[in-house]
Amino acid sequence: MFDSTLVNRLHAAVGEALDERDASDEREQRRTLTHDDRRQFARQLITKQLAGLDSQRLADGQPPITDAESKQLTVAVMNRLFGLGRLQAYIDDPQWTDIHANGCDQVWLLRNDGAVVEGAPIADSDAELIELIQTQARRGRSEQRWDPASPELDMRLPSGDRLHAIAWVSGRPSVSIRRHNFDIGHLKQLIGMGTISESLYHLLRAMVAARFNVIVAGGTGAGKTTLLRCLLNEVAVDERIITVEDSLEIGLEHFAHLHPNHVDLEAREANLEGVGEFPMHRLVRSGLRMQPDRVIVGEVRGAEALPMMLAMSQGNDGSMCTIHADSSLGVFTRLQMYMAMTPERFDVEVTNLMIANAVHFVVHLARLDTNERVVTSVREITGADGPMVTSNEVYAPGADGRAMPRFGLSDSSMARLERCGFDSSWLQPKHAVWAR
C-alpha cells in the first residue's frame, strides 16, 4: 500500500493538468471533453507522471515501480479524481452490502453473510473526507450542497448505490452507503436465495400480470427495493412505467431491454437560492400526467401517499410502492398516519375506504436472525369497515418466519389470477417448500 502522500501528490498534479486542459478548451472554444474522454486523458496524465517518478527513482538509485504498483497507484488516483478516494475500493467490492464511516478512520463494513468487519481508514482527516463527499455531490445528477447550512446529504452514486452523509450537527462526519446488487433482478432468482418459495413465485408473477396494485412492506434492509425491482421486471415490455423516488434506487436502467418505455423521476431539494424544490408528492402528480401504464413509488413515507392511492384507484392498475412497516397488518396504520399528515388531514375511516379502493395486496418481508431476507406475509385487502381495513392473510409467517399458505383468496381475486394463467393448486400446503 502506498503512502497517501504520494497519491495526493499525483492527484494534485493530474488534477491541475485537467484544469489547464479545460481552461484551454474554453479559450480556444473547443468542444469540452466528455466524461469518458476525460477519464482516458486522466489515465494518460497518470502514466506520464509515473514515468517521471520512475526516472526520479532510478536517478536516486531506487528500483522502478513494478507493474502491480503502477496499477495500484493508477486506481488510487483515478478514485480520487472521479470517485470517493479510498472509500471507492469498498464500493467496488461486491462482498460488502453496507458501508458506515464514523469519521475518516472508523469504518464498519457489513458483509453478504451478515458479518460486521472493521475497515481501514478512508481519508487522512475528517476534513479530507468532507471534501471528497462534497466533490461527489457536485458531480451528481443534480448538484447538491453539503455544508454547515445544509448538514445532511442524500444522493445516488454512479454505481447506483445510495449515500447518506451528515456533519456539523454530529461529533464527526458520518457517511453511510447502502449497496444495491443489480445482478438480482428477477423473481426466479429469489427462490434460490431463499427470499420466496416456488409457490410464492407463481403467485407474485400472476399478481403482476393481473395488474393488481401491490404494496411491498418491511423494515430497513429487509429487501423491499430488490423485490420491487424483481416484480417490475415481470411487467410486459410494451408497458409505460413511471418510477418516482426520493433517491434513485430501483435501477430499471440496468434492465433497459425489458423497459424501453420507462421514465425515472427523482425528488429534488431547493438550490442555494432556496428555489427549485420538487418533493415526492408533486412528482407523483407529475407522473400521473405522463400517461403511465403503471406508477411506481420507490418509498411512500409522507404526503405522496395520497396521490399514490388516487393513482391506484383511478385507472392505473398494476401500480406498486414500498413502505416501512413491521408487519403486513401494520401497513394500514402507517398509511393512516401518512394520510393524517396531508393538508386534507383525512380521518381513519376515509383513509380506510381509500385503502380498500386502491390497494389489492400487501407483501411483507423481514430480515431473520440468520440474516436471511424472506417474504413473511401476503395479505389481500377485501374492504373497509369503519375504523378497520378488512383483509385476508393468504400467506402468514410459519414457525421459522417464512410465509406459508393460510387462507384462500377471494373468488374475485382468484378468478382474475386464473385468467392470467395462475394455477390455484400452488396455494396448497404441499407446494409451500422453501429452498434452504
Q: 3-class DSSP state for residue 126?
A: helix
pTM of the model: 0.82
> Within its chain, how far is the Cα of 136 from the centroid?
17
Cβ pair 144, 133 in contact under 8 A? no
Which portions of the chain are predicted below pLDDT 70? 1-3, 140-143, 271-274, 436
| Spatial distance between the Cα atoms of 301 and 303, rounded to a whole number of angstroms | 7
**In the structure grid, which three cell numbers stand for residue 171, read together?**
461529533
Same domain, 194 and 173: no
The verdict on 241 and 363 lying in the same domain is yes
Same domain, 407 and 351: yes
What's the pLDDT score for residue 424? Answer: 92
CATH of the domain at 116: 3.30.450.90
Q: Would you state the pLDDT for residue 88?
A: 92
Q: Based on the fold, state whether residues 218 and 343 are members of the same structural domain.
A: yes
Render 363-420 in DSSP notation, one character per residue.
EEEEE-TTS-EEEEEEEEEEEEETTEEEEEEEEEE-TTS-EEE-SPPPHHHHHHHHHT
* End-to-end alpha carbon distance in the chain: 40
- pLDDT tens by residue, 208-234: 999 999 999 999 889 999 999 999 999
How many whole angstroms separate alpha carbon 147 and alpha carbon 163? Answer: 16
Whether 179 contacts 161, CB under 8 Å? yes
Q: Tell whether 329 and 195 lie within a shared domain.
A: yes
CA dihedral sign, ordered 242, 247, 250, 254: positive
Q: Which domain holds residue 70?
A: 1-82
Q: What pLDDT was estimated at residue 206?
A: 97
* CB-neighbour burial class of residue 367 (10 A; exposed 0-12, middle 13-18, buried 19+): middle
Joined together, the cell numbers standing for residue 71 give: 496499477
Residue 220 is predicted with a pLDDT of 86
